[in-house]
Amino acid sequence: MNFELCAWCFVLRIPHGRARNGDGSKYKGQKFKAQSTKHKVKLFMRKPVIAGNWKMYKTVGESVDTALALKPLVANANHCEVIIAPVFTSLKTVADRLEGSNVRVSGQNCSTEVEEGAHTGEVAAFMLRDAGARHVIVGHSERRHFYSETDAMVKRKCQAAISAGLTVIMCVGETLDQREQGNAENVVRGQLNGGLSGLTALDLDRIIVAYEPVWAIGTGRTATPEQAQEMHAFIRRVFAEGHTATAAEALRILYGGSVKPENIAGLMVQGDIDGALVGGASLKAESFAKLVNYERR
Ligand code: PGA
């Protein structure tokens, strides 16, 4: 990587366009340390995340087939973290079959309860971890809207997941009505603060935020890269207000909502878009592999 230290380094920022991979593409790599003769600083670079949300699709056999087809297609993808989220019943088998690969497995939801107990139909975060998951999606709009999940529940789920050693992909996003009424930022701010208040600095390392405008999910209607970038930058500002500027710089913010192989490169080039949470286009190995191996500009 060619990295040019500049006057901004002491405020822990890297001006866009200064950090480049060896192939010249914009670098959003993992944390690393950079030193200059004048400043000793820790710069937070963000490694992109491409996550597939399989929702309520696929039997165990189908999940394994897709995961095994995906594995070789993304084996060289060192530029990003690759995650798939199968249904609960497939999770353990898929995780076992992917062991040793660069594809991580995520739950799609977890219980608000930390401990095991009499909670019929629920799955605790530590059980997901035990089954091989390293991540869990929390607060997806389908859970908020169809299963009445509140910010308070999302917050408890985040805390349960973190205490189980999982990384949380916490979803936020406004409906079309809310956007048209000019409330998109207020809604997203409320979801962020509602879900993530009270977390410690260490906990924040385990948080990834996914901005998924509800009007773009499964509709084929993607937010434009500029619309998404605007909200991602807003999310980073809100996160800095609620936590610290350093935590906000390190936060990975994924975009979700009709992401496809045709539109991912335009999204990923935006400075505050650190990856994608993909539904429909993640269900086929070839299409998801194209997303993982997006054209890096
Ligand atoms: P979509 O779903 O890519 O099918 O729009 C995204 C999501 O719900 O996470």
For residue 1 the two structure tokens come to 């990587």
SS3 content of the chain, % helix, strand, coil (to 5): 40, 20, 40
Q: What is the pLDDT of residues 158-188, one digit of tens each?
A: 999 999 999 999 999 999 999 999 999 999 9
Whether 90 contacts 64, CB under 8 Å: yes
Does 221 sit in the ligand 1 pocket, CB within 6 Å?
no
Is residue 140 part of the annotated active site? The answer reads: yes
Ligand 1 centroid from CA 52, angstroms: 9
What average pLDDT does range 77-104 have in this prediction? Answer: 98
Query: 281 CB contacts (<8 Å, ≥6 apart)?
Result: 259, 260, 261, 287, 288, 291
In this structure, what token pair is assigned to residue 181? 């009424």
Three-state secondary-structure class, residue 170: strand
User: Which residues lie closer than 8 Å to 226 by C-beta, 6 or more apart?
Assistant: 270
Residue 221 confidence (pLDDT)? 85
Q: Compute the distance from residue 294 Cα to the ligand 1 centre, in Å.
A: 17
From the CB of 86, is ligand 1 less than 6 Å away? no
Pick from 140, 260, 239: nearest CA to 193: 239
What does the pLDDT read at residue 44? 59
Give the separation between CA 15 and CA 2, rounded to whole angstroms: 14
Kindly state the average pLDDT of the residues 107-123. Answer: 98
Q: What is the pTM of this model?
A: 0.87
pLDDT above 60: residue 154: yes
243-256 pLDDT, tens digit each: 999 999 999 999 99
232 is catalytic: no
Query: Which DSSP helix (H) or strand (E) runs through 162?
Result: helix 151-163
For the stretch 121-137, pLDDT in tens is 999 999 999 999 999 99
Ligand 1 atom nearest the C-alpha of 258 is 5
Ligand 1 contact, 139 CB (< 6 A): no
CB-based contacts of 138, cutoff 8 Å, min separation 6: 109, 110, 154, 157, 158, 161, 168, 169, 170, 171, 195
- Considering only CA atoms, which of 8, 16, 52 is closest in space to residue 273? 16
